[in-house]
Amino acid sequence: MIEAVGLTKHYGKTVAVDNLSFTVRPGQVTGFLGPNGAGKSTTMRMILGLDNPTGGQVLIDGKRYRQLHRPLRTVGALLDAKWVHPNRSARSHLRWMARSNGIADRRVDEVLELVGLTAVAKRNAGGFSLGMSQRLGIAAALLGDPSVLLFDEPVNGLDPEGILWIRNFMHRLAAEGRTVLVSSHLLSEMAQTAQELVVIGRGKLISQSSTAEFIEQASENTVRVRSPQVDLLRAALLGDGATVTDDGVDGALVVHGMEPAAIGELAAARGVTLHELSPQRGSLEEAFMQLTKESVEYHAHGDEVPVQDLPV
Ligand SMILES: Nc1ncnc2c1ncn2[C@@H]1O[C@H](COP(=O)(O)OP(=O)(O)OP(=O)(O)O)[C@@H](O)[C@H]1O
């Protein structure tokens, strides 16, 4: 379990993390979601004791990282997969890590097997593909068989097969009862990976909820309707209190604030023919844009981050 309470980090005048409180529970994958520059990496570094908070604290199983007796046995992390000695083999890289942490060599072979790198264990890690480097980084994180795992943007740059492998592996780690926190700015990816979401923008907590709740609360469900008597239909909908906008594609209307059944009944009562009546379920992308709007607007006007760098 990870508990952040009032966690704050200033770099000079930059407030990277701002009074952030959240809880990451065992047994499920928790996504740590936010636009670029939202403060995800800074938060992860503070969880791991690599950066000192300006205020507040973050505890792992009730203790600060530095109070942990054998940190690698409690928490494992993948921050930067390319952090290996290029001329070391995968096995010797892991043995070096294991030995400096009082972990037996036999565990190295176990973790290589777990991540599917046994066949290439003797090859130089410097020549590994990104996908293989990520697996090696995960093997290193698992060396101490920790109950808490942190992954910072683990699927960045991976091909679909690599993404699927990481996603399934995370589910497996969570199913074993571990606490798994994975950061991403990829919303669609998190929708498929995480059961719980901690969403941040500008270093502040925007929401913590289940992924399903997040989508439900944040995105507005609308209904797309097409009719050969579009003006009649529009007038009827407006008269009944709905908000109506034009889809702009094929003369369809987008109706906000009215259920599909009510629209169908209203159309029937007014003798309006419908050619389409389709509910539009909000996507995670929309939900995310909706909830991080404030931080996106800030960046757009404040010129801190070019708009094209923001997630779409
Ligand atoms: N060492 C540092 N010195 C100064 N500013 C920093 C430092 N590290 C991070 N920042 C700033 O803190 C803010 C949060 O950065 P952070 O890297 O934590 O965000 P992030 O959500 O991980 O973004 P990304 O997905 O782009 O990595 C940014 O404005 C960043 O420029």
Pocket test for ligand 1, best of 11, 199, 296 (most atoms within 8 A of CB): 11
Q: Does residue 2 come out as left (phi exceeding 0), alpha (psi in the -120 to 50 range) or beta?
A: beta
Taking the centre of ligand 1 as the mean of its atom positions, its distance from the CA of residue 203, in whole angstroms, is: 9
- Please say whether the beta carbons of 30 and 22 come within 8 A: no
Tokens 């083999």 -> residue = 89
Cβ of 39 below 6 Å from ligand 1: yes
Instruction: Give the whole-angstrom CA distance, residue 140 versus residue 51.
Output: 21
User: Ligand 1 centroid vs 207 CA: distance in angstroms?
Assistant: 20
pLDDT digits (tens), the chain, 312 positions: 999 999 999 999 999 999 999 999 999 999 999 888 889 999 999 999 999 999 999 999 999 999 988 888 899 999 876 666 667 889 998 999 899 888 999 999 999 999 999 998 898 888 888 888 888 999 999 999 999 999 999 988 788 888 898 999 999 999 999 999 999 987 778 888 999 999 998 899 988 999 988 877 766 778 999 999 999 999 999 999 999 999 877 889 999 889 999 999 999 999 999 999 998 876 666 667 766 766 554 444 443 433 334 343
Question: To the nearest 10°, the Cα dihedral for 121, 123, 126, 131?
Answer: -50
CB 146 near ligand 1, within 6 Å: no
Contacts of 301 (CB under 8 A, 6+ apart): none
- Where in the chain do CATH 3.30.70 domains reside? 220-280
ipTM, 2 dp: 0.94
Residue nearest to atom 3 of ligand 1 (CA): 11
Does residue 129 have its Cβ closer than 6 Å to ligand 1? no
At 139, give phi and psi (nearest 5°). Answer: -60, -45
Are 34 and 193 contacting, i.e. CB atoms less than 8 angstroms apart? no
The CATH architecture that domain 2-217 belongs to is 3-Layer(aba) Sandwich (3.40)
- CATH 3.30.70 fits domain 220-280: yes
Contact predicate 150/74, CB 8 Å: no
Q: Where in the chain are all domains bearing CATH 3.40.50.300?
A: 2-217
The contacts of residue 138 (CB under 8 Å, 6+ apart) are: 78, 115, 151, 154, 166, 169
Rounded to the nearest angstrom, the distance between the alpha carbon of 36 and the centre of ligand 1 is 8
| Cα–Cα dist 65/310, whole Å | 32
CA distances from 226 to 261, 273, 277 (A): 15, 9, 7
**23 three-class SS:** strand
Tokens of 190: 């998190």
Backbone angles phi, psi at 169, to 5 degrees: -65, -40
Please give the model's pTM, rounded to 2 decimal places. 0.79
Ligand 1 site, residue 34, Cβ cutoff 6 A:
yes
CA dist 276 and 74 (Å) reads: 55
Q: Is the CB of 14 under 6 A from ligand 1?
A: yes
How many angstroms separate the CA atoms of 8 and 46, rounded? 9
Mutate to test the pocket of ligand 1, among 9, 13, 40, 152 (most ligand atoms within 8 A of CB): 40
